Amino acid sequence: MTIEQVKLENLLKEKFPDANILVKDLVGDNNHYSVTIESKVFNDLNRVQQHQLVYQSLDGLMDSELHAMQLQTKGI
The answer to whether 62 contacts another protein (rule: CB under 8 A) is yes
Minimum CB distance to another protein, residue 48 (Å): 5
Residue 31 contacts another protein per CB under 8 A: no
Query: Which of 22, 70, 75, 76 is in the footprint of another protein by CB under 8 A?
Result: 70
| Contacting residue, 5, 13, 38, 51, with another protein by CB under 8 A | 51
Sign of the torsion angle spanned by Cα atoms 10, 13, 15, 21: positive
Q: Is 36 in the site for another protein (CB under 8 A)?
A: no
CB-CB neighbours of 50 under 10 Å: 21
